């Protein structure tokens, strides 16, 4: 167990993932083991750029996924009528949440009668549905037929739906710090447990593809026609993705009392905002450095204890340069293995830190570090140990996960192996 300075240790007892690799942690594990990315052609709407820039799109049927995931619970809270009020982002988050709760072995009674809540990181929210409603209205649809978008657009809908379907009586909050949203939601949920405000928190992030997100990143000229190649010398940018990652967090005492076995411990959380530029990180990595240092310190660990770093690694020029510099500055000669998993999922925006939290937990459980898919030649001066292939690490005990967002919003999480 990590030696966090707080008296409340936080266990992870459930994981849920959905995205370009498919639905569920098992699908993610299989894709990572096979070195098979989930990138493909965008087909959620007709798009002239679809052939030019691959995306990390979820190809399954979300409505069917929800009906199958926890049918009794979902049907009792509205079923098909509720589906009409949920955005694509909401549905992605709900599927991941239901998987995490099921793995944690939490019953409806335990959730409803305990001190439970949910924190959700978001960015796109219901924008895809709002875009569709606007296009329909401009195309002549009656106003009444487009009003449903009002029930789907708001960011507050996501945590509200989770609280309603799962019967969570505690706080239900949405966090929007761009691409660090999911990581911040997890870190802040853990802090709520440490302060004694909750025993169980469902936390993570979810975002769907949308026109404004896809075209926006294309207009910034940070999307790549051949997909992301994090830390590669010839990297050309990111691929926009969608998905969700959710974790069940519990105080160590609560997990032990109900006989739940932790999958891992969430030992430390760090957050900073360097506010250098609207989209670019500080060139010297000040904010990233501060978040990483804080996370390791709060976990009660030394830098030498960290055995793997899951990088934000978007494959954009500025991000990879800055992150490598910050890691090199913090860890010095201690070359910690590092990799980015953006090639598998695309950049899932607010969901990225939450999906990558699941990747980190699985690395601790399996003792295997995931390769940095897409790397051909490390860029000159990187000075970090980027994983060119999967690496067995049976003694892996502590990992650090980075999530850096627009506006300089930086988050870092430290996960530790459950003995």
- 312 as an active site residue: the answer is yes
Residue 48: C-alpha distances to residues 107, 203, 340, 347, 362 (Å): 47, 36, 29, 20, 38
How crowded is residue 130: how many other Cβ atoms within 10 Å of its Cβ? 20
Label the pairing between strands 10-19 and 22-23: antiparallel
- 254 as an active site residue: the answer is no
Pair of tokens at residue 88: 């694509």
The answer for residues whose C-beta is within 8 angstroms of residue 397's C-beta and 6 or more apart is 305, 307, 364, 416, 417
Q: Which of 179, 254, 271, 398 is catalytic?
A: 179
**Class of residue 91 by CB neighbours under 10 A (exposed 0-12, middle 13-18, buried 19+):** buried
Pair of tokens at residue 18: 């959905």
CB 402 within 8 A of CB 291: yes
CB 240 within 8 A of CB 257: no
E strand intervals along 185-307 = 200-207, 243-251, 264-273
Q: Which of 282, 286, 347, 398 is catalytic?
A: 347
Q: CA 82 from chain center: how many Å?
A: 24
CB 119 within 8 A of CB 249: no
- 276 as an active site residue: the answer is no
The answer for residues whose C-beta is within 8 angstroms of residue 68's C-beta and 6 or more apart is none
CB 347 within 8 A of CB 237: no
Beta bridge partners of 309: 338, 400
CA dihedral 42, 407, 182, 249 (to 10 degrees): 170
Q: Which of 271, 282, 286, 312 is catalytic?
A: 312
**Residue whose C-alpha is closest to residue 299's, from 1, 4, 8:** 4
How many angstroms separate the CA atoms of 270 and 330, rounded? 14
Taking CA 235 as the corner, what is the angle to CA 315 and CA 238, rounded to the nearest 5 degrees? 40
- Residues tagged active-site: 179, 312, 347
């Amino acid at each position: 167990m990590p030696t966090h300075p707080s008296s409340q240790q936080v266990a992870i007892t459930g994981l849920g993932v959905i995205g370009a690799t498919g639905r569920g942690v098992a699908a993610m594990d299989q894709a990572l083991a096979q070195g098979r990315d989930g990138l493909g052609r965008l087909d959620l709407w007709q798009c002239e750029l679809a052939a030019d820039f691959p995306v990390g799109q979820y190809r399954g049927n979300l409505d069917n996924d929800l009906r199958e995931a926890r049918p009794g619970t979902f049907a009792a809270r509205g079923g098909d009528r509720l589906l009409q009020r949920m955005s694509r982002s909401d549905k992605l988050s709900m599927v991941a949440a239901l998987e995490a709760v099921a793995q944690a072995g939490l019953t409806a009674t335990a959730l409803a009668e305990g001190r439970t809540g949910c924190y959700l990181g978001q960015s796109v929210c219901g924008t895809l549905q709002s875009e569709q409603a606007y296009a329909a209205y401009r195309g002549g649809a009656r106003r009444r037929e487009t009003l449903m978008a009002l029930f789907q657009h708001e960011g507050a809908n996501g945590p509200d739906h989770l609280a309603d379907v799962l019967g969570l009586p505690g706080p239900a909050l949405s966090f929007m710090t761009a691409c660090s949203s999911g990581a911040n939601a997890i870190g802040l949920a853990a802090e709520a447990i440490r302060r004694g405000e909750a025993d169980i928190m469902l936390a993570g992030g979810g975002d769907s593809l949308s026109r404004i997100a896809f075209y926006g990143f294309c207009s910034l000229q940070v999307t790549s026609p051949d997909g992301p190649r994090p830390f590669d010398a010839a990297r050309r940018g990111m691929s926009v993705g969608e998905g969700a990652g959710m974790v069940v967090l519990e105080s160590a005492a609560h997990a032990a009392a109900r006989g739940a076995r932790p999958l891992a411990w969430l030992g430390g959380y760090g957050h900073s905002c360097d506010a250098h530029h609207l989209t670019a990180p500080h060139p010297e990595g000040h904010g990233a450095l501060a978040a990483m240092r804080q996370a390791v310190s709060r976990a009660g660990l030394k830098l030498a204890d960290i055995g793997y770093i899951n990088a934000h690694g978007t494959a954009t020029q500025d991000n990879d340069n800055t992150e490598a510099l910050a890691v090199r500055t913090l860890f010095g000669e201690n070359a910690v293995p590092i990799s980015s998993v953006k090639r598998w999922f695309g950049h899932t925006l607010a969901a990225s830190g939450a999906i990558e939290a699941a990747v980190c937990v699985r690395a601790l459980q399996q003792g295997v570090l995931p390769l940095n898919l897409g790397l051909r030649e490390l860029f000159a001066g990187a000075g970090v140990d980027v994983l060119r292939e999967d690496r067995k690490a049976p003694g892996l005990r502590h990992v650090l996960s980075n999530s850096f967002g627009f506006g300089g919003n930086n988050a870092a999480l430290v996960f530790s192996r459950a003995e």
